[in-house]
Amino acid sequence: MTPQSPPAQSATPAAATSRLVSAPLDPADRLIVALDLPSATAALELAAELQGLCRWFKVGMELFYAAGGSIVTGLRDRGFQVFLDLKLHDIPNTAAGAVRSVSSLDASLLTIHAAGGEKMMRAAVEAAAHPGSPTLLAVTVLTSMDAPGLSATGIPDPPETQVLRLARLARASGVPGLVCSAQEVAAVRAAVGAEVLTVVPGIRSAGAPGSDDQARIATAADAIAAGASMLVVGRPITQAPDPAKAAAALLAEIATAATRPAGS
């Protein structure tokens, strides 16, 4: 696959996210590399290694708590788009305040937990309504959770049932995007509409052994075929002997899947 260089001047968060629900998408706009690393130095070194291949990086709690907002601005200054995966879940006033606080960082996407309920999500949506705010994604059920895990928390339903319940609630609350596993993404689109932005973690390379701590996983090709807008990939790239080679292979898999006829 021919490496694709990011634009000389990184797109604004609003411009970056507005094209994510359009088709066809460039494979480089579908892949988010999860920088689940303990320091800004390690994260920026990996981002530099993937420059020219990858446009999107995820900053999760581990990296954000270690490096603070400077890691987001550091990635943005290098021309990358940032998915800020903080999974905000608190009372409505606090969640809204957190959205406002991180909006100045220029991230393109930001997660909240759908389990926080309608009032919390509506407050977060209102806080993200002003220009420059990230596009919100509601996390439905973590990909590490299976039916026994949900049952232990008092939810007797299988993951797909709970995902659909929370997806409908999030969309009714005005949240434009959703996070779910590849196993539910087709049902989510059928339930809430084809225009929803769907971000799917738990992606593993075709033929890769094991699933780490993830319970509901899929290959990149299967996730795209099921209707995923974007894929979040961490360890298959970040822990690969050659991260750039691993990223290029995943981009090629995405490109192949994206050109298949529907239902094939």
- Token pair, residue 63, equals 């990296």
Closest CA to 206 of 221, 216, 184: 221
What is the phi/psi pair of residue 148, to 5°? -60, -35
Whether residue 245 lies in the annotated active site: no
b/e 20-33 (16+ beta carbons within 10 angstroms → b): beeeebebbbbbbb
Give the C-alpha separation, 147 to 151, whole Å.
Answer: 6
Helix (H) or strand (E) holding 112, with range, is strand 109-113
- CA 88 from centroid of its chain's CA atoms: 14
Block residue for tokens 């926080």? 116
Judge whether 165 and 191 are in contact, CB under 8 Å: no
How do 81-88 and 56-60 pair as beta strands?
parallel
Closest CA to 113 of 166, 157, 162: 166
Block residue for tokens 């390690």? 42
The dihedral through the CA atoms of 21, 18, 84, 206 has a sign that is positive
- Token pair, residue 225, equals 């075929």
Closest CA to 250 of 24, 31, 11, 17: 31
Name the residues annotated as catalytic. Answer: 87
